[in-house]
Structure 1
Amino acid sequence: MSYLVNLSLAGKKVVVIGGGRIASRKVRRLIELDEVPNIFVVSPGFCSDFPEHFKIEQQRRKYQKGDLNGAQLVFACTNHQEINQEIANDAETWQWVNDVSTPAHSDFTNTGLVEIGDFTLGISHRFKDPRATKTFCEDLKKTFHLK
């Protein structure tokens, strides 16, 4: 069972390892926050629509253990499950890691979001299938004509 929370990431360091679609989506959600955290992204390459923002530091190279220093949240978003597992293994016990290749091995997952006026509903599939969460959110939006 999971425990849903809202986090204030103001002044926090968030590390994203990976530069593809999933990493781009994670970073895009981070820069939409009212107070954008300090974002450090490491990847040998970045997809063409990877977001740019003054609080994003990008390093075009492979992951190194020291990349996690000082991070409160870590997103392991590479296309290689072994590297994502290495990132999770390298993290300190106080760092929260999201391994996108293996949600069951993650400390946290992102919820799907559905906005209704001033409210935001967080939808979670409890570390099982992120695609099911995405589909459920899309279905809710269509059914209730939401954005």
Structure 2
Amino acid sequence: MRYYPVFLDIKGKSAVVIGGGAVAGRKVTGLLAAGASVTVISPRAVKGLEALAREKRIRLVKKAYRNGDLEGAYLVVCAASSKAANEAAAMEARARGLLLNVVDAPEECGFIVPSVIDRGSLIIAVSTSGKSPALAKRLREGLEDVIGEEWETFVDLLGAVRKKLLKSRMNNVKKERVFKELVHSPLPGWIKGGDEKEINGFLRRLLGPGFTLRALGVGLKGV
């Protein structure tokens, strides 16, 4: 295994993106989704980045990268069209000990970004260690067909049940049996079909009257 897989908590952390093109834009979207405080440094920027700057969701610095621009950063993504700019920024990032990603150059990276399926609290990452992003994308798209949006609600439901059970007097052996039955249940299909009655009936039979979608604070989309 070439890379150690981790999930980073970058909420509120300073992330600097070098470059203002479409690739940089995609990187910015991912960083914002994870709650990072994003600064983009580039003489020019695509319309999407300009719009984010107007909305004050990112800080856009319209100039070429210069040494010293990474002061205070936690994470750096080099996505400029200029190879020289990427190399210079990468050199500064390494000197400062920052987390570094250089687009299309895995050998230069301190971390690489996988292809991701985002289902709320359920996050599935697919990586080919930088050897074939196209294959990672194909695998991700295949998994997306199998693991639909209903799995986001399913995970939320499992989390709500677990939280309530951990506070209960149920013994650990029974808790383990219940958790196993839940994860192997038809719940995802019922959630996808919006079958609230079937879900609540199953939860009551397995766990008792205090376990319904409403009582657990879990809603079904469109229901």
Counterpart for residue 67 of structure 2: 65
Runs (4+) off by over 3 Å: 115-118
- The RMSD of aligned alpha carbons is 1.9
Give the residue type in structure 2 aligned to 1:23: A
- Which residue does 1:86 correspond to in 2? 88
Residues 1:80 and 1:95: Cα distance change in structure 2 (over 3 Å): same
Call closer, same or farther: CA 1:134–1:54 in 2, change over 3 Å.
same
Query: Is the 8 Å Cα contact of residues 81 and 101 (structure 1) preserved in structure 2?
Result: no
The answer to which structure has the higher helix fraction is 2
Instruction: In structure 1, list runs of 5 or more residues that go unmatched.
Output: none
Residues 1:45 and 2:44 aligned together: yes
3-state SS of paired residue (1:16)? strand
Give TM-score scaled by structure 2 length.
Answer: 0.59
Structure 1 residue 145: Cα displacement: 6.2
Provide the aligned length of Structure 1 versus Structure 2: 144
Query: Using CA pairs below 8 Å that are at least 6 residues apart, which structure has the higher relative contact order?
Result: 1
Instruction: Say which is worse superposed, 88-97 or 21-30, in terms of deviation.
Output: 88-97
Alpha-carbon displacement from aligned partner over 1:53-95 (angstroms, at most 9, x marks no partner): 5341111111111111111110000112232122111222520
TM-score, with length taken from structure 1: 0.86
Using a 3 Å threshold, how does the CA distance of structure 1 residues 108 and 137 change in structure 2: closer, same or farther?
same
Q: Secondary structure at the match of 1:61?
A: coil
Q: Percent identity of the aligned residues?
A: 29
Q: Counterpart of 1:88 in 2: which secondary structure?
A: helix
The residue aligned with 2:214 is: none
For 1:55 and 1:103, the matched residues in 2 are separated by 28
Query: Which one has the bigger strand percentage?
Result: 1
